[in-house]
Chain A
Amino acid sequence: MTLALFLVIAAALSLLVILGVTVSRGLILSPRPALAQKIEPLDIEAFRTLVDPAETEYLHRRLPAAEFRKVQRERLRATAAYVRVAGNNAVLLTVVGQAALVAGDPDTVEAARQLVNGALLLRRNATMAMLRIRLALIWPHSGLAGAPVLDGYERLNGSAMLLGRLQNPAVPVRIAAML
């Protein structure tokens, strides 16, 4: 009887999840323009400093062990916040890129495909990095594990800018002016 009850509950929960995903699928099929506005800017320079192994090594050498662990945990929490933002941005860019995949222009479609794949890779790396950060919070001497996310985010910038230029030809003028 216990086994039967367990299976009934498991089946009911699975059904709820499947129906929930089905309902939320509408958001993926027709992304609202407001979605793109939810992309949060990320201070890449600060992020780079946080995940720099040389910085960690310097702190390790200069600080007493207990102080180092405390500081390192703070840095890990800050890194987790950056990784979370990068992961969320990756999700939004996936949706933005998928919406652009139906464009008639082959260049735009190719740029959108690159953006989607880059965003998915970043999402995957962000998830792995979050797991490693959680482990590192227990053992602060291990690495910060945010570097793959930082690299992926920088690559994604290029893809997003290319797609942005193709979608809105007015923007390259501004980019050229800035450079």
Chain B
Amino acid sequence: MLQAHSPLWNYLSVGPNLFLLAVALLLFKRGLSRQFPAFFAFAILDALGELMVYGADVAPFVTAEGFWRTVWVYLVVSSLLKFLVIAAVFSQLLAPYSAISRLGRTFIRGIGAAMVLFAGVLAGFAHGDSNYHLISGAHLLEQTVFVIESGVILFIFLFAAYFHLAWDRLPFGILLGFGISSCIHLATWGVIANASPSDQTRTLFAFLNMGTFQLCVLIWLYYVLVPQKMVAKSAVPLPDNTLAVWNRELERLLQQ
């Protein structure tokens, strides 16, 4: 069951990508593709990219080198798209809050730069898990991308929580999916790139990664399918006693 190219393996290589294409279709049908163009592009291109990698894996005429070159192309394109989506979500989160918009942008640039530096240092310390640079390089690239991605996503969640910013439903779901995915993938790729695990452990990690991707796609599907509850917010009246205190303070201000 938990072996490479078993029925479960084949399902997890193809199924989540079909779900992701369904997410893209739903975004388009509901007119959300214009609101979330980066995520829409990611949903289509990432799903097609993963399917392309799977095709290269099972097609007998594709050489090992050809497969790894396909993986590289997919990794670079997918990573760029993910960062575009994260940037768009953060921008949408800050849009209604002009008071901290500049602060947030300054911080995210700083955190992004620091995470790139940190990921570079970690990659420098890694000894590589294969004699073939094409393979070990791809694993290191995965580790580097997930270090940066998880750091930036963690910052966005903490920033929003600290200031109690209200998330829109879909951007929150998108970032939650990326957050879970990046943390699990960071752990697995960190072990694969640095601890030289056995082939059996690598296969288990591949299942864990694919299972996590399936979960994330389901999260995105849920947030696209279930509409925002407008009634969830109910106006909270300001307390009378506090108003009285403020009134006194205002009175004192006016008398100065």
Contact = CB atoms under 8 A, between A and B. Distances in A.
* From A12, A161, A168, residue with most partner B Cβ within 10 Å: A161
B236 A100 contact: yes
Contact of B250 (A3, A30, A121, A158): A158
Contact of A7 (B100, B122, B250): B122
B60 interface: no
Contacts of A160: 238, 242-243, 246
A24 B230 CA distance: 19
Interface in A15-48: 15, 17-19, 21-22, 24-25, 28-33, 35-37, 39, 41-42, 44-45
A130 interface: no
Interface stretch (A53-61, A71-79, A139-147, A170-178): A170-178
Contact of A11 (B126, B161, B187): B187
B29 interface: no
Interface residues of A, number: 64
B186 interface: yes
A1 B195 CA distance: 5
Nearest to B103: A124
Interface residues of B, number: 63
B166 A3 contact: no
Contacts of B230: 102
B226 interface: no
Contact of B97 (A120, A158, A174): A120
A164 interface: yes
Nearest to B253: A154
B59 interface: no
* From B99, B122, B150, B172, residue with most partner A Cβ within 10 Å: B99
Nearest to A8: B187
A3 B163 contact: no
Nearest to A123: B163
Interface string B233-249: 11111111111111111
Nearest to B172: A25
B153 A7 contact: no
A171 B187 CA distance: 56
* From B100, B236, B247, residue with most partner A Cβ within 10 Å: B236
* From A39, A45, A158, residue with most partner B Cβ within 10 Å: A39
Given A14-B154, A39-B239, A4 B250 contact: no
* From B160, B166, B179, B247, residue with most partner A Cβ within 10 Å: B166
A167 B153 CA distance: 37
Contact of B158 (A12, A17, A19): A17
B184 interface: yes
A82 to B, nearest CB: 13
A99 B162 CA distance: 17
B235 A167 contact: yes
B166 to A, nearest CB: 5
B70 interface: no
15 contacts: A7-B122, A8-B191, A11-B186, A14-B183, A15-B180, A18-B176, A24-B161, A30-B232, A37-B239, A96-B238, A113-B96, A116-B99, A160-B238, A178-B247, A179-B251
The 9 A-B residue pairs with the shortest CB-CB distance, nearest first, are A7-B190, A15-B183, A11-B187, A4-B195, A117-B99, A41-B245, A4-B194, A164-B238, A11-B186
Given A7-B190, A99-B235, A164-B246, 4 more contacts: A3-B125, A25-B172, A28-B165, A44-B252
